[in-house]
Chains A and B, each alone.
Chain A
Amino acid sequence: MNTFLQQLITGISIGSIYALLAVGYALVFSVFNFSNFGFGATMMFGAFAAYYVILGLKLPLFVSILLGMAAAGIVSMMFELVIYRPMRKKNVMRIYLMIAGLGINIFAPNFMLQIVGGAVKGFPSDWARVTMTVGSVNITRSDVLALVMSIALLTLLWAFLYKTRVGLGIRASAFDTRTAALMGINVNVVASAVFIFSGAAAGVAGCFYGMKYSVYPAMGAVATKGFIASTVGGLGSLGGAVVAGLLLGFLETMIASYISTTYRDLFAYALLVIVLIFLPGGLMGRQVHDKI
């Protein structure tokens, strides 16, 4: 029972990282109908930004996470501005946007490899590593922080989408950007907002992944798990992304603990394929109403 509880908590904390990533994919997909595969790179830059803020500027952990988040948001917006926007203007097929994203995802880690080297870096926060014991369960502070910040960020995102004017513009654009434009909504503003928000989510995910494991140029590979979660949840569905992200984290952890860690990734991809075969719309993406 205690191992179960222990694994449940680990599962939720890794799941909340997946959920943040999945929401980022869902947000971009819901408006622009493509998956931003540059997301892993965004996440990695966010983690490195926080890493160097702590080491170089000696700022507290929380501030460094916020700065990592801001850096990732800006990087994400730059990808949109420099790569995706010119392509969208030319009305290219969505698949080319995704190929460009794959390009980013290969370019970015190699770029970082040249600059900082490939060494695996421990996240420089002793505070985050401290383990608390609740009953017979051990919880690391970073796990708690990951969960709390994910909830806070998702709530903020929800409030932004449902309580602000630009949020309304995003939701309208999620149905159709051309009709939204007829209403006076500038799709470029929507794009910037969507990429900043999803990038920030990736940045936070990167920080927590870095705390849980480590910071290194190829760490963005884990964003694939977010992509799987967003697909399983239903492409473009924010609720589905959160649910599937948590579910994936939970199931993976259970499999790693009760079966074998080697089956963990195998499982995630098997889940993806099975869901695509039997529920191509994902758990929550069958109706267009389920889009944000």
Chain B
Amino acid sequence: MAESPLLAVKDLEVFYGGIQAIHGISLEIKKGEMVAVIGANGAGKSTLLNTIAGDKSYQKGSITFEGEPLPGRAYQFAEKGICLVPEGRRIFVNLTVYDNLLVGAYTVRKKEKIKERLEEVYDLFPRLKEREKQMGGTLSGGEQQMLAVGRAMMAGPKLMMLDEPSMGLAPVIIDEMFDKFKKINSKYGTTMIIVEQNAQLALDTANRAYVMSVGKFIMEGDSQELIHDPKVQEAYLGFK
């Protein structure tokens, strides 16, 4: 018998008022997978992640996580193990780096567990430890991205979703960052969805990918196959 997926989305439709942003999307992600969603600006990638994370309500279709329907209220998602590293990072600029990480562990009741995770985060991003007492708002873009990822790690998520983590970062930092994602995935077995406009980067990192356009998946498959697909090359990788 095949293993049941960690996340299963079926015929999802999402609206903003009267405007439809997601037009019937289905996807299945297995535990431990690293999956990319690529697509142009406005395709609906953020909407998809926000919906799975409980930040946006959906109108049609179904989403199940570990075989169960999603909880009813936004704040209950983190406890279930679904964590979003949102587009634009949304760091708590009025809190210290340390407090930002503590907020990430808001659903974790055991003190030892929080300490343990904190060490894991500092281990992965030593820069955050150096900046521990600084206000989140004073960090550089790269550091803020580290903090956003570290904050998500603090919850000990089963599914971590990253929305355009490369946005606004210098190329060296991007490479470093994506290495860390792979590390989190392999070391902690965290299932990941990475949304990117930078298709090359996403396809290089993920095992599997979905190509999204105007609220629909128009292609899906193995990352390496997609990289060599002429249509993908032309539309998303800038090949002529």
> Which residues of chain A have a CB within 8 Å of any CB of chain B?
165, 168-169, 171-172, 174-176, 178-187, 288-289, 291-292
Contact = CB atoms under 8 A, between A and B. Distances in A.
18 contacts: A169-B106, A171-B94, A171-B95, A176-B90, A176-B92, A179-B90, A182-B84, A183-B106, A183-B107, A184-B77, A184-B79, A184-B106, A185-B75, A186-B75, A288-B93, A289-B135, A289-B137, A292-B94
A185 B94 contact: no
A183 B152 CA distance: 8
A179 B86 contact: yes
Given A171-B94, A183-B107, 10 more contacts: A168-B106, A172-B99, A172-B103, A179-B86, A182-B55, A182-B74, A182-B84, A184-B77, A288-B94, A289-B137
Given A181-B74, A183-B78, A289-B137, A168 B94 contact: no
Nearest to B104: A183
A187 B73 CA distance: 10
A292 B104 CA distance: 18
Interface string B182-220: 000000000000000000000000000000000000000
B95 A178 contact: no
Contacts of B73: 186
B75 A175 contact: no
B72 to A, nearest CB: 12
B99 A182 contact: no
A181 B82 CA distance: 12
B137 A168 contact: no
Nearest to B85: A182
Q: Which size bracket describes the interface of B in this complex?
A: 20 to 34
B137 to A, nearest CB: 6
A165 B55 CA distance: 22
Interface string B42-77: 000000000001110000000000000000011111
Contacts of A169: 103, 106
A176 B73 CA distance: 16
A86 to B, nearest CB: 16
B55 A178 contact: yes
A237 to B, nearest CB: 11
Contacts of B76: 184
B77 A182 contact: yes
Contacts of A176: 90, 92
Interface string B111-137: 000000000000000000000000101
A168 B99 contact: yes
Contacts of B74: 178, 181-182
Contacts of B99: 168, 171-172
A179 B103 CA distance: 10
A174 B94 CA distance: 8
